[in-house]
């Protein structure tokens, strides 16, 4: 499925691994949180980059002690109305200081894209056939915000601000 970053389609260099699929020797793989817990040692024995996929029922704190081991954290949205992932992304950044890629996957609509970015999400996986132009446009429609986004760490000296352009 296409991957969007900064409003553009980008290549996906990761392989998402089913829980029963064999672990390849080479290349970056994404495993489920359950598999990470079950096969931790085998996964860490590899030298290739590792990503973990968090269901919406698992909060950022569950992977916090191991974040340095992940080059990618995938946050799942089972339904676009389920907003837990916004908190998960923000906590990964603000609470646990995670600096790797955060990827949102699942049922997400274009109108949520600017909010995801403001919560610290780097990339979004979108369905095949998605008009990337629509996603790019949603990113730049509203340029004023009334609260800081992730990464804007100055003291709260003002409420309103311009959103950094994508």
Partner 1 sequence: MTYVHPRNHAGIYHYDELDRQFVRERVEQFRFQVERRLKGELSEDEFKPLRLMNGLYLQLHAYMLRIAIPYGTLASHQLRGLSEIARRYDKGYGHFTTRQNLQLNWIKLEDTPDILGKLAEIDMHAIQTSGNCVRNVTTDQFAGAAPDEVVDPRVYAEILRQWTTIHPEFTFLPRKFKIAISASGEADRAAVRVHDIGLVVKKNAEGETGFEVYVGGGLGRTPFIAPKTRGWLPEEDLIAYIEAVLRVYNQAGRRDNAFKARIKILVHETKLDKFIALVEDEFARIRGPKFRLDSAIVEAIRSHFAPPPFEELPPASDLAVRRRADDAAFDAWVRTNVRDHKAPGHASVTISLKPAGGVPGDISSEQMDAVADLADRHSFGEIRVTHEQNLVLAHVKQDDLYALWQALSAVGLATANAGLIGDIIACPGLDYCSLANARSIPIAQALSERFADPAKQAEIGDLKIKISGCINACGHHHVGAIGILGVDKKGEEFYQITVGGNAELDASIGDILGPALTADEAVDAVERIVDRYLERRQPGERFLATLARLGQAPFKETAYAAD
Cβ of residue 17: shortest distance to partner 1, in angstroms?
27
Question: Are 102 and 120 within 8 A, CB to CB?
Answer: yes
For residue 149, how many C-alpha atoms fall within 13 Å in the half-sphere facing its CB?
17
Smallest gap from Cβ 104 to partner 1, in A, equals 12
**Tokens found for residue 107:** 């049922």
Minimum distance, C-beta of residue 129 to partner 1, in the bound complex (Å): 11
Of the pair 16, 56, the CB lying nearest partner 1 is at 56
| Dihedral over alpha carbons 150, 120, 89, 103 (to 10 degrees) | 180
**Which residues of the shown chain bind partner 1 in the complex (CB under 8 A)?**
59, 80-84, 86-87, 90, 94-95, 109, 111-112, 114-116, 118-119, 131, 134, 137-138, 141-149, 153, 155-160
Nearer to partner 1, 22 or 156 (CB): 156
């Amino acid at each position: 499925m296409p991957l969007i970053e900064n409003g553009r389609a980008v290549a996906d260099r990761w392989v998402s691994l089913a829980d029963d699929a064999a672990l390849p020797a080479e290349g970056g793989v994404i495993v489920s949180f359950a598999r990470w817990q079950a096969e931790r040692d085998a996964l860490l024995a590899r030298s290739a980059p590792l990503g973990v996929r968090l269901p919406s029922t698992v909060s950022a704190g569950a992977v916090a002690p191991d974040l340095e081991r992940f080059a990618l954290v995938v946050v799942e949205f089972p339904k676009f109305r389920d907003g837990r992932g916004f908190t998960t992304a923000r906590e990964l950044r603000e609470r646990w200081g995670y600096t790797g890629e955060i990827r949102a996957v699942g049922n997400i609509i274009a109108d949520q894209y600017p909010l995801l970015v403001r919560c610290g999400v780097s990339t979004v996986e979108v369905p095949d056939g998605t008009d990337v132009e629509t996603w790019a446009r949603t990113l730049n429609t509203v340029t004023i915000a009334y609260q800081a986004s992730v990464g804007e760490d100055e003291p709260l000296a003002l409420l309103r601000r311009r959103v950094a352009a994508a």
